[in-house]
Structure 1
Amino acid sequence: MEDLIPVTLWIAGRGYRIRIRKEDEAAVRLAVKIADERVNELRNSFAGKDDQDFIAMCLLMYATDQVTEANALNPVQKELVGNMTAKIDKLIGEG
């Protein structure tokens, strides 16, 4: 059985306790950060809704992205690639 670690992740001010593989923690936390930012963007754009509405809208946007951009990178992958590219550029610049 895989070794799982417990983590608490916060989306829209609410904590969710889950168990994940240690090597997945950075990617999961990045995904949560992106989701929480998207929820906050929705909250600022649409007044009068509650957090459950914003989370549902965020989920629908994510699912739509997966269907319409099947061959494209998702937001988490884009950010990871961007971070790796920045690190590579920095290392090349130091050489």
Structure 2
Amino acid sequence: MTDILKVAIEIAGRKYNVNIKETDKDIFEEAARMVSDTLNTYEQKYSYEDKQDLLALVLLQYTTSYIKMYRSKTGDNNDVVVSRLRQLNQVLTEITDKMEK
């Protein structure tokens, strides 16, 4: 049985407590680093006042990369892509709501 861990992931200077499978810990940490690195690159490249705008650009970049990768592996299965994007949107909405508080 896989253990569930509660870990704090930091993105854009904020910590988010997430419950994840122990086996996924490295993946979540790497994903947070990738998002932070991309966010830092965008901060240097673009002049946005609000980090939420930059996070939206990061989200767009990673989502388009995900869709391209998924389509290349499955052949253009839009239903699955839309379902995954809805799940991703739900998670991002929760994060954005926490950022606004």
* TM-score, scaled relative to structure 2: 0.64
Asked whether the equivalents of residues 48 and 54 of structure 2 are also in contact (C-alpha less than 8 Å), the reply is no
More helix by share: 2
- Larger Rg: 1 or 2? 1
- Out of 63-72 and 43-52, give the one that drifted further: 63-72
TM-fit CA distance, 1:51: 0.9
Asked whether the equivalents of residues 9 and 16 of structure 2 are also in contact (C-alpha less than 8 Å), the reply is yes
Q: Does 1:52 pair with 2:58? A: no
* TM-score, scaled relative to structure 1: 0.68
Return the alpha-carbon distance in structure 2 between the equivalents of residues 39 and 6 of structure 1: 24
TM-fit CA distance, 1:2: 4.9
Q: Which residue of 1 aligns with 2:67?
A: 67
Gaps of 5+ in 2: 74-101
Q: Does 1:13 pair with 2:31? A: no
Give aligned-pair identity as a percent. 28
Aligned pair count reads 72
Q: Which residue of 1 aligns with 2:40?
A: 40
